[in-house]
Copies of this chain bind each other. A is one copy, B any other.
């Protein structure tokens, strides 16, 4: 329906040469611009104060035991929500188990982490602080005590009411901030709305991914159907580690193509350095299609049109106690 609408729009504004170009190639079924709104859980309504608090927490390394690691360390908003590392560097320079997924548009996924072990952003935000190879807090009490010491108490009270500073509310505030981390207006989105064009190579790539079946999983405006699919690559058991079911062996959440050109390196192990190679491997592994170099180049040209606009974020000032050091530990 969305597709038909956007094509109609393109026809309606036929005096625009861009729109004319857009209408020359049909957009495959299901594809469309990034949705404008995300679902918000009933128990975590959005407010400006909550988003601001969530932003402070997102950027504040005081969430980590060492005081050295923030959410933004691995999900850097300056580099499309990732750290461009194969596997992220955490507490004591330990490496994480999987490549850091982007925080941009994460509000749209049906579950978080490569294995989907966190249903909501609120659940995800509790993971890294407690992970011994990431922020390495001993427990939630330690983290809450440090946030209290840092002066976050009054800010939580303002948002969540009296004695509002706790682990759940920390996660809620971060999740609220993450729900504004959307990247609309990618070249493809403008093309789909009849407001701009994409290159002939990108159009060939767009048709190719539909033709060979990539879009049976990387479907819809998010370019993921938000399901788990088997990917027989590497040694990581994926979702089986969560469910314990052999049937989930090597299953991973289908990743979105949104901003994929900007989030190298690729796959859950981050071992693939180029998007060309990632496309080649996926087509062979999942669809048994051997793509030519020209076809790969076309598909990559299309994927590059899915790089959106990063929202403007004013860097926050963290609360800190005047004249006192915080209790950071190695």
Tell me the A residues contacting B by CB distance below 8 Å. 56, 59-62, 66-68, 73, 76-80, 83-86, 89, 92-93, 261-262, 264-265, 273-276, 300, 303-304, 307, 310, 312-318, 320-326, 328
A313-B315, A328-B84 are known contacts. Are A307 and B323 too (CB-CB below 8 A)? no
Question: Chain B residues with Cβ under 8 A from A312's Cβ?
Answer: 314
Q: A78-B59, A84-B320, A84-B328 are in contact. Are A313 and B310 (CB under 8 A)?
A: no
Roughly how many angstroms separate A292 CA and B326 CA in the complex, as a whole number? Answer: 25
Copies in the complex: 2
What is the CA–CA distance of A273 and B322 in the complex, to the nearest angstrom?
Answer: 11
* A323–B303 CB distance below 8 A: yes
Q: State whether B89 touches A320 (Cβ < 8 A).
A: no
Give the docked Cα–Cα distance between A59 and B314 (Å). 13
Residue A323 contacts which of B61, B261, B320 (CB distance < 8 angstroms)?
A: B261
CB pair B60 A83 closer than 8 Å: no
Residues of B within 8 A of A80 (CB): 320
B83 lies within 8 A of A262 (CB): no
The 20 listed contacts between A and B (C-beta, < 8 Å) are A59-B78, A60-B79, A77-B315, A78-B318, A84-B320, A84-B325, A84-B326, A93-B93, A264-B320, A264-B323, A264-B325, A273-B324, A273-B325, A275-B322, A275-B323, A304-B322, A310-B317, A313-B314, A313-B315, A314-B315
